[in-house]
Amino acid sequence: MLAALTAFLLLQTVEPGFTPLFDGKSLKGWILVGGRGPGYVVENGILVCPAEGGGNLFTEKEYSNFILRFEFRMEPGANNGVGIRAPLQGDAAYQGMEIQILDDQHPKYKGWIKPEQHHGSIYDVIPARTGFLKPAGEWNEEEIMADGRHIRVTLNGVIILDVNLDIVREPAVLKRHPGLLRTSGHIGFLGHGTRVEFRNIRIKELP
């Protein structure tokens, strides 16, 4: 409890304009859709997607343009994602957009995942740069900026994706991913049956 309060106060001090999305003790402000097992749980001030849990945990509020910052830690081979501008129903990776969270260097993914499935990619659409994830079990810092058609992902201080969505012009891709045209929606963690932990989740809305 003390650690969570300290983190909250620190964020309020050093990051003007950012609002915490997770209070460190409850799922207040979040909606679980398609939950599995225990869904998401809070452990020692950390938001956890357990291996036996998961589903889509969305913000109650919708966001359009924003900077989202958070820290995450994965078990080996973990798979999750951050849905942005997503509706509550349907597959968030297609009806909205999914920024991939994946321990993509794990041996089980070697040789078969596509470039646009690596960590930080807009899932199934635009690949991110690789090689900047910390080893499984260590905390990573990530920032996702969505400003109109501009999407930028920064991992551990390195920009790994910086694109204008208008570069996607292939009719088949646009048909498969109608969410690329959405201008607002929910932010969510998209659990895939592996343990991933999140903390210091905060957001700054952009005009």
Largest CA distance in the chain: 52
Residue 100 belongs to domain with CATH number: 2.60.120.560
pTM for this entry: 0.92
Q: What are the pLDDT digits (tens) for 78-132?
A: 999 999 999 999 999 999 999 999 999 999 999 899 999 999 999 999 999 999 9
Res 3 pLDDT > 70: no
| Residue span of the structural domain in which 123 resides | 2-205
Domain count, the chain: 1
